[in-house]
Structure 1
């Protein structure tokens, strides 16, 4: 059996063909043109209740190596631990670990069921690495055009790689300059991890669907829509597959390890793509890029870039003052030797084990912090590692950095600015960027939530 990860290690360009668990098509190809092909099984892309990728993998030939997606949306660390055990038992060791886009049945938690939280890919990588025996992929979205939003993505990529990711798959996108920047980033920081680009034959129908439904993290500009519409009107729809073939060949020349091919699982689609790859694979990079730019009618290089609104790109004075005040309080009350010693002495008393005292302490902590930072009594306060911007104010509860679904600094949920853009902007202003790049913040266990982080902090402190 051809081995996906060995292909990466031996610098053999390959194609991961994505299959949805909701699809009834189980045709599998092992080669597309001269490139080896493998199976990638997506996790809950069609609906929140899709069949699990691990279960779906049983419907595909054992002779083809597979990469299973695992999206952390609506899942906790215990769910992931179980998944790892099951994957190991099924002899599947290639995983793509994602935080995931928002669940369609996401609950905000103000009323009714508890709020939905998401297991971050950083935390999933950390856990899987401890288990051992897995080849771990992570997603990365380079198509970010507001400065803080882009910085936040790259800061989190540092964390994913530090946590132990073995390979990277980018978000779907068509801005070749942004993809080149991602490749240059790995070279600049001497990261050995391999990178694959996500590609899709982009038809007008698919582009309109993504724009209409605001598919998280995907940039489709008005220029792109016009080009596709004009082509369809004059009967040039086959260019959809020509462009995809050109993109694949360009990535090979650029040194990418391969591509993750979406929405192309039918044999007739693959054969059309294959025919274009074979027709143009003799061209060098300059000729391929020239043809790509010609098909997209590129003149300025900005055709794939969304229109940027003008607004201040600096933290406000109130944000800076709040950071300085909270940093001073944190250092004095939680980091100094005296504070640690006194706190440990106070909270080790059995008095705090009694229910009335525990409830009073939790209520006091919540009242003192909720109005200031949005505390939700997580029991494992991470403010010192997040520049005093509470990760609980992220709808997904992400502490290590953003998901890939933001748009020009706006949260995927559309009702706020992404807190991780705020953090990135603030970190640059106060010289704390390394905190957002280096500190791996562990996930909060369910059993800890609803307890006092003050008590937990001091009792965990060595005196």
Structure 2
């Protein structure tokens, strides 16, 4: 089991990523299963992970391949993407996975859906990864009203993973990633897998951060072995959240021209050995078009390099020039850099003062406004008039969408329903590049803008300590938040 393998301090765990395509059968599916059989026979890979509609395109559901892997005697690691599941579907899928014996899940937001049948699918993102991890924990402990996971049999207990990217180019993106990691760990994540990257220094930052923050979750480093066409696509920004350094692309172009494309396998092997010596519990391997023979070559070479006194003179570290790094090296030791949020505060102070005057009932203005809203709530016409007033004011100031469950005060008075395509209320996804949005590359990431408006005294720890906002109650959509707040219809703080 993946759980027991990662729980052993002396075992270096290797997983490999399978990418199902469109269709329920055919040569592509058979090739995946043939590779799985060969992997099983080889015995050095602990689990095969299965992607869930990668890139936002519809594909064979991971449960189908996962069930067949179980029949072959291989541990499946199911990617549990939230982009196309509402909370009811999430619960339904959890029951399905337990029923099928699919115990290991990697929880992630997922890539924004791409156009398909009759155009663009409606993105869901009803829960984010933090909320989903909390949901799973609450179902296990019986705190979720009406729903529970089956825990009578220990083999059905779910093993929940989360994702973090240490490869962001800007301060705001990277600080959010580490703050989100701490929140995911607190929400119940059992293990961590990094985003793919090609800079050893960033991997070292990640494992150092995990150790110093006292996280007990094992960490797998993501080692991706791209082909030249995929490397070109990554360098061009066509893979959400992935930054491929120009130096690596140039080296791969040169290797291809010289007929030395297989060097990528040796490079991956040398990288795995370095990551193992860094202290990672294992690696999560991936790569398009790799055969089982390629995987055996990589793993054989790992054993050769690991046994050698010195590693070969092979370039495996490709820093992204000009990118902000979370740590700097001082006297041979990695130290966290001071961070500088709040560089563009805008009108936050004025809006925060207005918010306090309206909603703090320890103040006379807050008590008067509360009384006025409750008075309006007693009549349909008065409620409608107040709702119209609220809509006009907040649309002008915040581009408000009238969700009825306002979280402006938690996002520096920027509206995530209007500003974030995924409508995330607890922090960013991992899809941004150089501070720009995954969905709208010409726009700056919403949560980067929030970071620039935060209190300058904000730290990673203070961001991580914020209680995660619960899921929105969509029955309140298009209603007055002011009324909902003062009449007790909301279950959360603002």
Q: Is the 8 A contact 1:19 1:41 kept in 2?
A: yes
**Partner of residue 113, structure 2:** 103
Deviations 1:108-160 (A, max 9, x none): xxx99977545311111111111123221111111012112211211211211
1:417 aligns with 2:444: yes
Q: Is the 8 A contact 2:240 2:432 kept in 1?
A: yes
1:80 pairs with one of 74, 90, 96 = 90
1:55 aligns with 2:64: yes
Does the C-alpha gap of structure 1 residues 432 and 324 become closer, same or farther in structure 2, counting only changes over 3 Å? farther
Structure 1 residue 436 displacement after superposition: 2.8
2:201 pairs with one of 177, 185, 188 = 177
TM-score by length of 1: 0.86
Rounded Cα–Cα distance in structure 2 between residues aligned with 1:155 and 1:32: 40
Rounded Cα–Cα distance in structure 2 between residues aligned with 1:366 and 1:386: 19
Aligned residues: 441
Question: Unmatched 5+ residue regions in structure 1?
Answer: none
Q: Is the 8 A contact 2:166 2:194 kept in 1?
A: yes
Rounded Cα–Cα distance in structure 2 between residues aligned with 1:279 and 1:314: 46
**Partner of residue 280, structure 1:** 305
Structure 1 residue 89 displacement after superposition: 1.8
SS at match of 2:307: coil
**Partner of residue 39, structure 1:** 48
**Partner of residue 145, structure 2:** none
SS at match of 2:195: strand
SS at match of 2:391: helix
**Partner of residue 194, structure 1:** 218
**Partner of residue 18, structure 2:** 19
1:92 aligns with 2:102: yes
Q: Is the 8 A contact 1:17 1:39 kept in 2?
A: yes
Does the C-alpha gap of structure 1 residues 329 and 32 become closer, same or farther in structure 2, counting only changes over 3 Å? farther
Rounded Cα–Cα distance in structure 2 between residues aligned with 1:113 and 1:367: 30
SS at match of 1:429: coil
Structure 1 residue 351 displacement after superposition: 4.8
Structure 1 residue 33 displacement after superposition: 7.1
1:223 aligns with 2:247: yes
Rounded Cα–Cα distance in structure 2 between residues aligned with 1:234 and 1:203: 15
Q: Is the 8 A contact 2:87 2:126 kept in 1?
A: no
Does the C-alpha gap of structure 1 residues 87 and 280 become closer, same or farther in structure 2, counting only changes over 3 Å? same
Rounded Cα–Cα distance in structure 2 between residues aligned with 1:383 and 1:150: 22
Structure 1 residue 441 displacement after superposition: 1.4
SS at match of 1:333: helix
Q: Provide the aligned C-alpha RMSD in A.
A: 2.9
Does the C-alpha gap of structure 1 residues 21 and 340 become closer, same or farther in structure 2, counting only changes over 3 Å? farther
**Partner of residue 454, structure 1:** 482
Does the C-alpha gap of structure 1 residues 440 and 353 become closer, same or farther in structure 2, counting only changes over 3 Å? farther
TM-score by length of 2: 0.81
Q: Is the 8 A contact 2:235 2:249 kept in 1?
A: no
**Partner of residue 6, structure 1:** 4
2:278 pairs with one of 254, 264, 270 = 254
**Partner of residue 125, structure 1:** 133
Structure 1 residue 46 displacement after superposition: 5.6
Greater displacement, 240-249 / 207-216:
207-216
SS at match of 2:33: coil
Greater displacement, 96-105 / 326-335:
326-335
**Partner of residue 470, structure 2:** 442
Q: Is the 8 A contact 2:104 2:159 kept in 1?
A: yes
SS at match of 2:219: strand
Rounded Cα–Cα distance in structure 2 between residues aligned with 1:100 and 1:442: 19
SS at match of 1:427: coil
Q: Is the 8 A contact 1:72 1:99 kept in 2?
A: yes
Deviations 1:393-424 (A, max 9, x none): 11111111111111121111212111212222
Rounded Cα–Cα distance in structure 1 between residues aligned with 2:269 and 2:185: 29
Rounded Cα–Cα distance in structure 2 between residues aligned with 1:80 and 1:445: 16
Rounded Cα–Cα distance in structure 1 between residues aligned with 2:308 and 2:476: 58
**Partner of residue 367, structure 1:** 392
Rounded Cα–Cα distance in structure 1 between residues aligned with 2:57 and 2:422: 15
**Partner of residue 163, structure 2:** 139
Rounded Cα–Cα distance in structure 2 between residues aligned with 1:444 and 1:100: 19
Greater displacement, 166-175 / 388-397:
388-397
Rounded Cα–Cα distance in structure 1 between residues aligned with 2:56 and 2:458: 42
Structure 1 residue 432 displacement after superposition: 7.0
Greater displacement, 226-235 / 73-82:
73-82
1:71 pairs with one of 78, 81, 89 = 81
Q: Is the 8 A contact 2:346 2:453 kept in 1?
A: no
Does the C-alpha gap of structure 1 residues 242 and 431 become closer, same or farther in structure 2, counting only changes over 3 Å? closer
Does the C-alpha gap of structure 1 residues 93 and 334 become closer, same or farther in structure 2, counting only changes over 3 Å? farther
